[in-house]
Structure 1
Amino acid sequence: MTDLHYLRLLSRSYPTALSASAEIINLNAICCLPKGTEYFFSDLHGEYDAFSYLLSSASGIIRDKIEDLFSRSVSVKEREELAMLIYSPADTLARFRGDLDDEAYDNWCRIAIYRLVQVCKVVSSKYTRSKVRKKIPPNFSYVIDELLHADTEENKERYYEEIICSIVTTGTSEAFIIQFCSLIRECSVDMLHILGDIFDRGPHADRILDELRRFHDVDIQWGNHDITWIGAYLGNQTCVASVLRRGVSYNNFDQLEDGYGINLRPLSMFAAEVYRDDPCERFAPHILDENEFDPVDAALASKMHKAMFIMEMKLEGQLLRRHPEYGLEDRVLLSHIDFSAGTLELDGRTYPLLDRSFPTVDPADPLKLSEEEQELMDRLTASFQHSNLLGKHIRFLLSHGGMYKVVNGNLLYHGCIPMTADGAFESISLDGKYLSGRAYLDALDAKVRAAFYAPAGSMERESAVDLCWYLWMGPKSPLFGKSKIAAFERYFIAEPETHVEIYNPYYTQVQQRAVCEMILREFGLDPAHSHIVNGHVPVKEREGESPIRGDGLLFVIDGGISKAYQRQTGFGGYTLIYNSHHLALAQHKPYSQIKDNPRNSAPSVRIVETVPKRVLVGDTDTGAKLREQISCLQDLLTAYREGVIKEQNE
Structure 2
Amino acid sequence: MVRGTAVKGRPNKVMRLLAEKYPTKESVYEQLIYLQSRLSLPKGIEHFMSDLHGEYASFFHILNNCSGVIREKVDYVFGERLSAEEKAEFCTLIYYPKEKIEQMASKHQNTPEWYRRNLSQLLELSKLMSYKYPASKVNGFIPKRYEAVIVELMNTRPEADNAQFVYHKRLLNTIVQIDSGADFIEAFTVLIKRLAVDRLHIVGDFFDRGNRPDAILNLLMKHPSVDIQWGNHDVLWMGAALGNEACIATVVRNSLRYNNTDVLERGYGISLRPLTTFASRIYPDANPIKAAEKAITMMMFKLEGQLIRQHPEYQMDSRLLLDKIDFRSSHAVLGDGKRYELESAYFPTLDEAAADCYELTEKEAAIIADLKSYFEESTVLRRHVDYLYQKGSLYTRYNGNLLFHGCVLLNDDGSLRTITYKDRDFRGKGWFDYCDRLAREAYLHHTAEAVDFMYFLWCGRLSPVSGREFKTFERAYIPDESTWKEPADPYFKYVNNEDTCAMVLQEFGLDAQKGHIINGHVPVKVKKGETPVKAGGKAIIIDGGFCKAYHSKTGISGYTLISNSRGLRLLQHQKIADVREALRENHDIESVSETVELQTCRTTLGDTDEGRLIQDEITDLYNLLLAYQNGLIKPQE
Coarse TM-score class (shorter-chain normalised): over 0.9
CA drift at 1:24: 1.3
1:499-535 Cα deviation digits (max 9, x unpaired)? 1112211111111111111111111222221111111
Cα distance in structure 2, aligned partners of 1:559 and 1:627: 38
Alignment of 1:359-370 (within 5 A): 359-363=348-352, 364=354, 365-370=356-361
Q: Is the 8 A contact 1:362 1:368 kept in 2?
A: no
Equivalent residue for 1:466? 452
Residue type of the alignment partner of 2:320: V
Q: Please give the secondary structure, in 1, of the residue aligned with 2:31.
A: helix
Equivalent residue for 2:298? 310
Q: Is the 8 A contact 2:576 2:590 kept in 1?
A: no
Residue type of the alignment partner of 2:341: P
CA drift at 1:423: 0.8
Cα distance in structure 2, aligned partners of 1:228 and 1:176: 42
Q: Does 1:137 align with 2:143?
A: yes
Residue type of the alignment partner of 2:308: L
CA drift at 1:595: 6.2
Cα distance in structure 1, aligned partners of 2:586 and 2:327: 55
Equivalent residue for 1:228? 236
1:366-421 Cα deviation digits (max 9, x unpaired)? 21111111111112111111111211211211121111111111111101101111
Q: Is the 8 A contact 2:265 2:271 kept in 1?
A: yes
Equivalent residue for 1:195? 203
CA drift at 1:594: 8.8
Cα distance in structure 2, aligned partners of 1:475 and 1:350: 23
The equivalent position to 1:109 in structure 2, one of 109, 115, 123, is 115
Q: Please give the secondary structure, in 2, of the residue aligned with 1:34.
A: coil
1:128-148 Cα deviation digits (max 9, x unpaired)? 111111111122111111111
CA drift at 1:225: 0.4
Cα distance in structure 1, aligned partners of 2:317 and 2:514: 44
Equivalent residue for 1:324? 312
Equivalent residue for 1:378? 369
CA drift at 1:600: 5.3
More displaced 10-residue stretch of structure 1: 143-152 or 557-566: 143-152
Q: Does 1:423 align with 2:414?
A: yes
CA drift at 1:52: 1.4
Q: 1:169/1:352 Cα in 2 relative to 1: closer, same or farther (>3 Å)?
A: same
Cα distance in structure 2, aligned partners of 1:358 and 1:397: 37
Q: Does 1:571 align with 2:556?
A: yes
CA drift at 1:355: 2.5
Q: Is the 8 A contact 1:594 1:600 kept in 2?
A: no
The equivalent position to 1:91 in structure 2, one of 96, 99, 112, is 99
TM superposition score normalised by structure 1: 0.93
Q: Please give the secondary structure, in 2, of the residue aligned with 1:589.
A: strand
Cα distance in structure 2, aligned partners of 1:648 and 1:238: 63
Q: Does 1:621 align with 2:613?
A: no
The equivalent position to 1:170 in structure 2, one of 174, 178, 185, is 178
Equivalent residue for 1:585? 570
Q: Structure 1 stretches of 5 or more lacking a match?
A: 280-298
Cα distance in structure 2, aligned partners of 1:175 and 1:273: 56
Residue type of the alignment partner of 2:627: A
Q: Is the 8 A contact 1:40 1:194 kept in 2?
A: yes
Q: Is the 8 A contact 2:575 2:590 kept in 1?
A: no
Q: How many residues align?
A: 621
Residue type of the alignment partner of 1:394: V
Q: 1:534/1:315 Cα in 2 relative to 1: closer, same or farther (>3 Å)?
A: same
Residue type of the alignment partner of 1:68: Y
Q: 1:9/1:355 Cα in 2 relative to 1: closer, same or farther (>3 Å)?
A: same
Q: Does 1:41 align with 2:41?
A: no
Q: Is the 8 A contact 1:594 1:601 kept in 2?
A: no
Equivalent residue for 2:220? 212
Indicate the RMSD between aligned Cα atoms, in angstroms. Answer: 1.7
Q: Is the 8 A contact 1:560 1:571 kept in 2?
A: yes
The equivalent position to 2:488 in structure 1, one of 475, 496, 503, is 503
Q: 1:167/1:566 Cα in 2 relative to 1: closer, same or farther (>3 Å)?
A: same
Cα distance in structure 2, aligned partners of 1:504 and 1:330: 16
Q: Is the 8 A contact 2:32 2:618 kept in 1?
A: yes
Residue type of the alignment partner of 2:463: S
The equivalent position to 1:186 in structure 2, one of 194, 198, 212, is 194
Equivalent residue for 2:24? 16
Equivalent residue for 1:443? 434
Residue type of the alignment partner of 1:166: T
Cα distance in structure 2, aligned partners of 1:529 and 1:441: 22
Q: Is the 8 A contact 1:195 1:222 kept in 2?
A: yes
CA drift at 1:604: 0.7
Equivalent residue for 1:528? 513
1:262-290 Cα deviation digits (max 9, x unpaired)? 12222222222332x241xxxxxxxxxxx
1:624-650 Cα deviation digits (max 9, x unpaired)? 00000111111222222223223345x
CA drift at 1:178: 1.7
Residue type of the alignment partner of 2:267: G
Cα distance in structure 1, aligned partners of 2:184 and 2:399: 35
Q: Does 1:148 align with 2:154?
A: yes
CA drift at 1:431: 2.7
CA drift at 1:56: 1.5
Q: Is the 8 A contact 1:420 1:505 kept in 2?
A: yes
Q: Does 1:606 align with 2:606?
A: no
Alignment identity in percent?
40
Q: Is the 8 A contact 2:316 2:461 kept in 1?
A: no
Q: Is the 8 A contact 1:124 1:188 kept in 2?
A: no
Cα distance in structure 2, aligned partners of 1:607 and 1:616: 19
Equivalent residue for 1:293? none
Cα distance in structure 1, aligned partners of 2:405 and 2:38: 32
Cα distance in structure 1, aligned partners of 2:60 and 2:128: 22
Cα distance in structure 2, aligned partners of 1:648 and 1:321: 69
Q: Is the 8 A contact 2:61 2:577 kept in 1?
A: no
CA drift at 1:253: 2.3
Equivalent residue for 2:382? 391
Equivalent residue for 1:634? 622
Cα distance in structure 2, aligned partners of 1:595 and 1:430: 52
Q: Please give the secondary structure, in 2, of the residue aligned with 1:171.
A: coil
Residue type of the alignment partner of 2:48: F
1:241-268 Cα deviation digits (max 9, x unpaired)? 1111111222222221221121222222
1:540-563 Cα deviation digits (max 9, x unpaired)? 011111111111111000001111
Q: Is the 8 A contact 1:561 1:590 kept in 2?
A: no
Equivalent residue for 1:350? 339
Q: 1:600/1:187 Cα in 2 relative to 1: closer, same or farther (>3 Å)?
A: closer
Cα distance in structure 1, aligned partners of 2:552 and 2:531: 16
Cα distance in structure 2, aligned partners of 1:75 and 1:464: 59
CA drift at 1:611: 1.1
Q: Is the 8 A contact 2:253 2:296 kept in 1?
A: yes
Cα distance in structure 2, aligned partners of 1:600 and 1:175: 24
Q: Is the 8 A contact 1:574 1:585 kept in 2?
A: yes
Q: Structure 2 stretches of 5 or more lacking a match?
A: none
Residue type of the alignment partner of 1:463: E
Q: 1:257/1:646 Cα in 2 relative to 1: closer, same or farther (>3 Å)?
A: farther
Cα distance in structure 2, aligned partners of 1:382 and 1:106: 55
1:150-178 Cα deviation digits (max 9, x unpaired)? 23574222221122122222222222212
1:325-363 Cα deviation digits (max 9, x unpaired)? 222222112111122332211121112211322222222
Residue type of the alignment partner of 2:273: R
Q: Is the 8 A contact 2:627 2:633 kept in 1?
A: yes
